[in-house]
Structure 1
Amino acid sequence: MTDTLPTFEQRARGALMGAYIGDALALGPHWYYDLDALRHDYGNWITDYTDPRPDRYHGGMKAGQSSQAGVILDLLTDSLVTQNGYQEDDFCRRLDQDLFSQLDGTPMNGPGGYTSQSIRETWRLRVHEHHPWGQVSGLADTTEAAERIPALAIRYARQPDQLARLVSANTALTQHDTTVMAMTVAYACVLGSLVRGESLDTQTSDRLMAMVREGTLPFHSVTGHGEQVPPAGPEASRRAGQFPSPDALLTASCIVRAAQDPDIRIEPAWKASLVYGMPCAVYHQFPAAYYLAGRFQGDFESAVLHAVNGGGQNMARAMLTGALCGAIGGIQAIPDRFLQGLEHVDQRLAWAEQLAQQAV
């Protein structure tokens, strides 16, 4: 880590590259729920990119390559840069031409070696049943959409109202469960605040809730400031938001407070996966990512390696954690070996710089 505060551009580059690196680090040891088997196959501590075993998820791929989540992040990032902003039609066209054309509806197929439940369902409705975009989302409760929104969080970090609106719309392309959408938008708001240069601390949620009360973020505020009771009369409902509860915004600071409390310890930190849950659902993944980022802050290597070594859905955990810690510490907090070993690193660094330049 460095004592010099990172610039906006450095935070933007760190956030995007952190997401890509977290994804690629977990490519080999992805989805080991038997931790003894994970240690047997990859040793006591994974420290770098690894080849997937041929008989497991992503078999045949090589260390440093990206899963399908990284591929989709590529499509959205390239679209944002090329269009100088989010154009849903352009992104959907890329999904149709560059991804869906390579899928067959089965899990062990397609770019990245595995296709998620969420993308398979969208592919089925879009390709087999010929539904238009806007009518092809499913009920998967995973972080599938959240794994691509770091690009949006960077591009619209300085426009939090636009960020929330566009992340909600982008999520709705493939997932329509409102709890999933609320938690995904909340994660994007937290990440966007870090890219802007705000801290990940016990006040993060308060700052975001202030935006809710101002009408900037689309969440419903149940109370007034702090623990004050809500006002009587029509004012009480005037600020009702798209999402009925602000709890998704409150989660980050609650977990950061626990991560920084000396009386609450998860040792070693990779066991956050056991505390918050190893499966794929959003209510397991986001809390673990907030915990690791809150505990390690700009110590990118420690946070991401603990995310990977926790097993289960470690790819999403590492991707989400990597984006948060990359934003906190900036690109300079990411070890060179993680950049040098990542496929397409030069292109992705260039995209990150362009996103930062276009963010106004």
Structure 2
Amino acid sequence: MPAHSPEDRAMGALMGGFIGDALALGPHWYYDLDQMRADYGPWISDYTAPKPGRYHAGRKAGQASQAGILLRLTVQSLVDCGGYDEADFCHRLDTELFPLLDGTPMNGPGGYTSQSIRAAWHKRVKAGLPWGQVAGNADTTEAAERILAIAIRYALRPAELASAVTRNTQLTQTDGTVVAMTVAYGALLGMLVEGQTLDSGISRKLMARVKSGELPFHAVTSGDLQAPQPGQAEPSRAGLFPSPDALLGPSAIATAAIDPDIRIEPAWKVSLVYGLPCAVYHQFPAAYYLAARFHDDFESAVLNAVNGGGQNQARAILTGALAGAQTGLSGVPQRFLEGLENSGELLDLARRLAEQMVH
């Protein structure tokens, strides 16, 4: 497989997500950064195990959290079905994940269950509601952490990407802004897998796909975000997100990442600039910044995501996928692959997903 081929980028993106998840397993959710440094030293550079009493306690270095387990479940469904099959995906949640949960946070595969999955479990298992009626209003990146596999699968078919990502996200999350930002992340990841560059021009390219009808965002501007033409009617397509703003942020953030007058030093402090918490409006900007600043350096991108503390696991998953899409699997340090549990099986899944993407 040639370096920086579409397959190399696809495999790099998927493995980047798995690696980011596992790298943050130990130091996950430290909001006291001094305590994180006391527990793990001044710089976390490899896989670590959680401390007793912390999130994911009992897991070992290199293992996945539930986010990584859900990502793998999504990939397995995609490769077994040849694409996104919602009935199969939901069946896997019903039979492979939900029987292992009890609705409480500190339980389940990976040692912690996220808010949106807990909400879906309560509505699906306890209340007996059908899929389509079990989503909750969590404002987190939980869906983005699994749909990155769908975005990779459909990277060369952006309209199908947007449709599948939207439908999968809405299974567990109802907030319109969360869904829009998740779809925007998926669309951007798809473009990077295509071979596009995360720079000041990426939003213009995303907006061109809005104008062509490939991305379901509302936009009334003309040309390059110019004023609408006199007499120009509102777009009539149904199901549009209320604005394209989620697509416009990446270019501004990428511009800031390379602007010599704007420096975040050390780079892990991007978590302090955009915020340590879990919500999408903290997580996506930080991931975009790190992926743009370290576009050719997977290790620096993902380790700065981890060392920023707070919800560093989501930040590392999102950043790892974006960075891996740019460097390709060939640019991922071998030690990250060797230290990742079941890396051989994950690489095989990544290869199968990449093959489906290009055929």
**TM-score band (shorter)?**
over 0.9
Contact 1:220 1:241 in 2 (8 A): no
Secondary structure of the residue aligned to 2:226 is coil
Q: Tell me which residue corresponds to 1:115.
A: 113
Q: Tell me which residue corresponds to 1:223.
A: 221
Q: Tell me which residue corresponds to 1:337.
A: 335
Contact 2:46 2:336 in 1 (8 A): yes
- Is 2:261 the counterpart of 1:254? no
User: 2 CA distance for matches of 1:340 and 1:20?
Assistant: 12
Q: How far off its partner does 1:356 sit?
A: 1.1
Letter in 1 for 2:335: R
Letter in 1 for 2:296: G
Q: Tell me which residue corresponds to 2:278.
A: 280
Letter in 2 for 1:188: G
Contact 1:221 1:240 in 2 (8 A): no
Q: Tell me which residue corresponds to 1:23.
A: 21
Contact 1:194 1:324 in 2 (8 A): yes
- Is 2:297 the counterpart of 1:299? yes
Q: Tell me which residue corresponds to 2:314.
A: 316
Please give the per-residue CA displacement for 1:119-151, whole angstroms capped at 9, x wherever unaligned: 101100000000000000000000000000121
User: 1 CA distance for matches of 2:11 and 2:352?
Assistant: 9
Contact 1:213 1:239 in 2 (8 A): no
CA shift in 2, pair 1:99/1:240, >3 Å: closer
User: 1 CA distance for matches of 2:17 and 2:131?
Assistant: 26
Q: How far off its partner does 1:220 sit?
A: 0.8
Secondary structure of the residue aligned to 1:265 is coil
Q: Tell me which residue corresponds to 1:201.
A: 199
Q: How far off its partner does 1:242 sit?
A: 1.5
User: 2 CA distance for matches of 1:291 and 1:331?
Assistant: 21
Contact 2:3 2:330 in 1 (8 A): no
Gaps of 5+ in 2: none
Secondary structure of the residue aligned to 1:235 is coil
User: 2 CA distance for matches of 1:282 and 1:256?
Assistant: 17
User: 2 CA distance for matches of 1:242 and 1:104?
Assistant: 36
Q: Tell me which residue corresponds to 1:347.
A: 345
Q: Tell me which residue corresponds to 2:94.
A: 96
Q: Tell me which residue corresponds to 2:53.
A: 55
Q: Tell me which residue corresponds to 2:159.
A: 161
Q: Tell me which residue corresponds to 2:135.
A: 137
Gaps of 5+ in 1: none
User: 2 CA distance for matches of 1:240 and 1:220?
Assistant: 10
Secondary structure of the residue aligned to 2:124 is helix
Please give the per-residue CA displacement for 1:69-120, whole angstroms capped at 9, x wherever unaligned: 0000111100000000000000000001110000001111000000011110
Please give the per-residue CA displacement for 1:18-76, whole angstroms capped at 9, x wherever unaligned: 00000000000000000000000000000000011121000000000000000001111
User: 2 CA distance for matches of 1:53 and 1:29?
Assistant: 8
Q: Tell me which residue corresponds to 1:124.
A: 122
**TM-score where L is the length of structure 2:** 0.98
Q: How far off its partner does 1:235 sit?
A: 3.2
Question: What is the RMSD of the two structures over their aligned residues, measured on CA atoms?
Answer: 1.1
Q: Tell me which residue corresponds to 2:81.
A: 83
User: 1 CA distance for matches of 2:84 and 2:238?
Assistant: 26
Q: Point out the more displaced range, 83-92 or 221-230.
A: 221-230
User: 1 CA distance for matches of 2:234 and 2:43?
Assistant: 52
Contact 2:9 2:325 in 1 (8 A): yes
Q: Point out the more displaced range, 239-248 or 66-75.
A: 239-248
User: 2 CA distance for matches of 1:227 and 1:163?
Assistant: 24
Secondary structure of the residue aligned to 1:147 is helix
Alignment of 1:179-190 (within 5 A): 179-190=177-188
Letter in 1 for 2:347: L
Contact 2:44 2:303 in 1 (8 A): yes
Contact 1:219 1:240 in 2 (8 A): no
User: 1 CA distance for matches of 2:234 and 2:132?
Assistant: 32
Contact 2:48 2:62 in 1 (8 A): yes
Q: Tell me which residue corresponds to 1:72.
A: 70
User: 1 CA distance for matches of 2:201 and 2:234?
Assistant: 24
User: 2 CA distance for matches of 1:138 and 1:231?
Assistant: 39
User: 2 CA distance for matches of 1:165 and 1:225?
Assistant: 25
Contact 1:222 1:245 in 2 (8 A): no
Alignment of 1:165-180 (within 5 A): 165-180=163-178
Q: Point out the more displaced range, 344-353 or 85-94.
A: 344-353
Identity of aligned residues (%): 65
Q: How far off its partner does 1:332 sit?
A: 1.1
Letter in 1 for 2:105: P
Contact 2:290 2:305 in 1 (8 A): yes
Q: How far off its partner does 1:240 sit?
A: 6.8
User: 2 CA distance for matches of 1:153 and 1:14?
Assistant: 13
Letter in 2 for 1:89: A
Letter in 1 for 2:146: R
Please give the per-residue CA displacement for 1:237-276, whole angstroms capped at 9, x wherever unaligned: 3357510100000011110000010000000000000000
- Is 2:49 the counterpart of 1:46? no
**TM-score where L is the length of structure 1:** 0.97
Matched residue pairs, number?
A: 357
Contact 2:219 2:235 in 1 (8 A): no
